[in-house]
Chain A
Amino acid sequence: DAGVIQSPRHEVTEMGQEVTLRCKPISGHNSLFWYRQTMMRGLELLIYFNNNVPIDDSGMPEDRFSAKMPNASFSTLKIQPSEPRDSAVYFCASSLGYLNTEAFFGQGTRLTVV
């Protein structure tokens, strides 16, 4: 398996534009996570899906952020409209969905909003 695949690797956009980040989890994994890495907060969980259903979105910073998982092999994180403070590295991760199992991370998308 190629692991968790994220696209794009880098995204530069202007303030106010819509940004869509994409993720393909590892085949057979039932849980999918979106994290954001910042210096101040480290790896911050934004949203967590299990069997394609959003379980916990309490980490989504505000209504400008939304995430979907239309099927077991694809998820998107959308920011609309984007703001400079959204600049960060966004990671997608997947796991088997059982207790006490590790999550596998993609290489991340570095988002810069100018």
Chain B
Amino acid sequence: DQQVKQNSPSLSVQEGRISILNCDYTNSMFDYFLWYKKYPAEGPTFLISISSIKDKNEDGRFTVFLNKSAKHLSLHIVPSQPGDSAVYFCAASAGYGSGDKLTFGTGTRLAVRP
């Protein structure tokens, strides 16, 4: 049972344009959401997070949007750069009762074309 779903395995975007990566979740107990970025042969690195009390969090070129009613979040990268080419994982935690355990999606491979 995949509680965090990333339905697009890959995405290709032109440099300078917007990249939108999507994530859906099924567990209504999730209240904290994170995006990780992964380059080949490296471990995932934390990118940005959002708490369920917010609907938007911004950090430079990266913005995460949360729609709790739809159980959907998205990561926007504007403008996209070739160095953003990586696999992006969406993750969620359920807070009290589950500690800080993170549940991950299957990832979306982003390719930014020069």
- CB <8 Å contact, A108 and B43: yes
Partner of A107, one of B34, B42, B102, B106: B42
- CB <8 Å contact, B107 and A42: yes
Q: A43-B44, A100-B93, A106-B43 are in contact. Are A33 and B32 (CB under 8 A)?
A: no
In this complex, what residue of A is CB-closest to B107? A42
Q: A43-B89, A102-B46 are in contact. Are A97 and B104 (CB under 8 A)?
A: no
- Closest Cβ of chain A to B80, distance in Å, is 22
In this complex, what residue of B is CB-closest to A44? B104
Query: How many residues of A are counted as interface, with CB atoms below 8 angstroms from the partner's CB atoms?
Result: 31
B85 located at the interface, meaning its Cβ lies under 8 Å from any Cβ of chain A in the complex = no
Cα of A72 to Cα of B43 in the assembled complex, Å: 21
A69 located at the interface, meaning its Cβ lies under 8 Å from any Cβ of chain B in the complex = no
Using a CB–CB cutoff of 8 Å, the interface residues on chain A facing chain B are 4, 31, 33, 35, 39-45, 48, 50, 55-56, 91, 93, 95-108
